[in-house]
Structure 1
């Protein structure tokens, strides 16, 4: 895939924030990466299976999600000593699965993403995945120069762990700390991103879980678009 070169964003241009998973990418990119890290050896796979009764419920609940994800990352990365080494593993994963990953990029989403860039908007990706993962995948479609904020991962007890999860209110806080304020448009699929969507002047819900559509309609402005950009198992209206 490729896309024409985009002009640099104007300093006074509208700020547009995209989530990544289920928004630009059909699926949970971080989970796919962590599963690959764990499956690299039988003992990591066994350790993950034994830990799942504890870590699985932690991932399912917002207050403990960071700890659950960090546990799986730690199991998959035991022996990795630095963020640079971890990023090299991410790049190795992306290159080894290039065709499968590229097939998960949503064409409608990428066209909207590129349209904002062609207009000169300030576009940033804010994701719960490691930022190197999103950057590497966006490189498939010549968007690797877009700023990416993601979960901060660092050394922890012989492996790597999530130090700061780019998720829920923390995602908005990380955007503000990086100088991204006054969000004009935000795109996300998840109720975990309601702080991001409500902070935007124009929220757009894309490919939400069907069970969450009513909640989005209840808490967001009545004219909020709720669209499906190509995730077959998800809700939302077909784009015009």
Structure 2
């Protein structure tokens, strides 16, 4: 799993928070930049699966950061609704199956944390343009930092355990997901960060375009 800590104009922005026990690592990364946890101004979520929001409540307490997400995901983040489920039929790549079972069972629950602001396509979050990329989930977001050639694709693309357009068993609307990948393929990116696996740092745009079918 990946989270992304970005620094721009003296402010820090965090994209996703990983699992509950990953919060200490995020705080350590902030301190290694010579910054205080209170310098984290905003936390933006790609979507409301536990591997992306598990550490949110603890990091919110430690940093006081503003929490942003798509409105469709907001009540899941706040603990008022369960995340959309997936089936139990094993689907390649099989190494993702433990995640599939966890989502199907809906546990363990994350610590609820209400969002402070909902964001939609075309909004800004610090240096990032918000991209609505539905398919993996209805409120799935990506982010584009055009000045740095950075795209954060969330779970629209995966590089672990192999490079592909997300994990098939987890993409709830396949046609929407295909359109979201097509949109990502139209962006000029030097680096593409993904939720699961290493960032794409070489020929990033060409590799994403190769996923378009």
Same fold (TM over 0.5): no
- Indicate the structure (1 or 2) with the bigger Cα radius of gyration: 1
Q: TM-score under structure 2 normalisation?
A: 0.35
Higher helix share: 1
Report 1 or 2 for greater relative contact order, CA contacts < 8 Å, sequence distance ≥ 6: 1
Q: TM-score under structure 1 normalisation?
A: 0.32
